[in-house]
Amino acid sequence: MEMIKETAKVVRQQQIDEGIFDMELSFPKGAALAKPGQFIAMYCNDKSKLLPRPISICGINKEEGTLRVVYRVAGEGTKEFSEMKEGDTLEVMGPLGNGFALKEEKAIIIGGGIGIPPMLELAKQLNVEKTVVLGYRTSTFLKDEFEAVCDVKVATEDGSQGAKGTVIDAIEKYGVEGKVIYACGPMPMLKALAVYAEEHGMEAQISLEERMACGIGACLGCICKTKGKDHHTNVNNTRICKDGPVFDAKEVVFA
């Protein structure tokens, strides 16, 4: 798996919701290799913060040589990124991880919260009959862009838009059907979707997240419990950064 580490330039950045930022990075070699569901490691310019931040890829523009990331400010590192302006530079490495395996079957593309951004590039590239289901607290960032691609159903925690409750409530309320689930979001959502897929005889590809250090499979900081033995260390712990972040839900052991 080829990956690039180099200095990338911020092409544009804007805030799109409370605490959520949308950044386009000029990173031509990375963009040329990137696939939906992969991520990049973004390094802080403040060198007291040593570890790269793993951020999912929201958009790939091979012609312009750019990658788009939509991320939430979760701490000091992402705060630094959010303050960057057009023309600023930072070190990035990527694309990292396996990405989604695009299947030829009817799809349900599901995102929850800050797990929504990586589903946008997948929705664009997945050329099959598909429905997008998005779970929000209240505010519905990126929804318009998904609607430009395909049919979108929404769930909000407070019921202010779409179905009240979770993405599964939206799937049931609107009778969304498909053969393959592609999903990214909080662990409880992914766990519920794993059960849902099992019950309905569907395949589910879920994208996991964990605190990472190296980002390239060396440190074993980010692992998930898996039913099968990991080829790397021959135990039931598989590296999320290298062998994931996308897993077959049937393989994952949920806490």
Partner 1 sequence: MNLEVTLAGKTFKNPVTTASGTFGSGAEYEQFVDLAALGAVTTKGVANVPWEGNPTPRVAETYGGMLNAVGLQNPGIDLFCKRDIPHLKEKGASIIVNVCGRSTSDYVEVVERLADEPVDLLEINVSCPNVKEGGIAFGQNPDALYEITKAIKAKAKQPIVMKLSPNVTDITEMAKAAEAGGCDALSLINTITGMKIDIHRRKFVLANKTGGMSGPAIKPVAVRMVYQVSHACKLPIIGMGGILTGEDAIEMMMAGATMVSVGTANFHNPRATMEVLDGMKAYMERYHIEDINEIIGCID
Q: Which residues are annotated as a binding site for FAD?
A: 53-56, 70-72, 77-78
217 binds partner 1 (CB under 8 A): yes
253 binds partner 1 (CB under 8 A): no
Distance, CA of 202 to CA of 220 (rounded, Å): 30
43 binds partner 1 (CB under 8 A): yes
3-class state of residue 216 by DSSP: coil
Question: Residues 63-82: x/- map of binding to partner 1 (CB under 8 A)?
Answer: --------------x-----
232 binds partner 1 (CB under 8 A): yes
Applying CB under 8 A, which part among 31-39, 47-55, 63-71, 181-189 lies near partner 1?
47-55
The count of other CB atoms within 10 Å of the CB of residue 210 is 15
211 binds partner 1 (CB under 8 A): yes
| CB nearer partner 1, residue 32 or residue 218 | 218
Residue choice 25, 90, 93, 96 for contact with partner 1 (CB under 8 A): 93
236 binds partner 1 (CB under 8 A): yes
Cβ contacts of residue 128 below 8 Å, gap of 6+?
Answer: 103, 104, 105, 106, 107
Work out the angle at residue 231's Cα, subtended by the Cα atoms of residues 227 and 235, and round it to the nearest 5 degrees. 50
- State the minimum distance, in angstroms, from the CB of residue 5 to partner 1: 6
210 binds partner 1 (CB under 8 A): yes
Applying CB under 8 A, which part among 44-52, 57-65, 79-87, 102-110 lies near partner 1?
44-52
Could you list the residues known to form a binding site for [2Fe-2S] cluster, using ranges: 214, 219, 222, 241
Cβ contacts of residue 20 below 8 Å, gap of 6+?
Answer: 70, 71, 72, 73, 114, 141
3 binds partner 1 (CB under 8 A): yes
114 binds partner 1 (CB under 8 A): no
Strands (DSSP E) contained in 159-222 are 163-164, 180-184, 203-207
187 binds partner 1 (CB under 8 A): no
Nearest to residue 229, comparing CAs of 218, 243, 213, 246?
A: 243
Distance, CA of 134 to CA of 195 (rounded, Å): 18
Helix H or strand E encompassing 152: strand 151-156
- State the minimum distance, in angstroms, from the CB of residue 229 to partner 1: 8
| CB nearer partner 1, residue 48 or residue 127 | 48
Contacts 24+ apart (CB under 8 A), 138-144: 139/17, 139/18, 141/16, 141/17, 141/20, 141/70, 141/116, 142/16, 142/58, 142/70, 142/116, 142/117
Applying CB under 8 A, which part among 19-27, 50-58, 62-70, 146-154 lies near partner 1?
50-58
Nearest to residue 125, comparing CAs of 109, 144, 142, 141?
A: 109
Site of interaction with partner 1 (CB under 8 A) = 2-3, 5, 43, 47-52, 77, 91, 93, 210-224, 232-237, 242
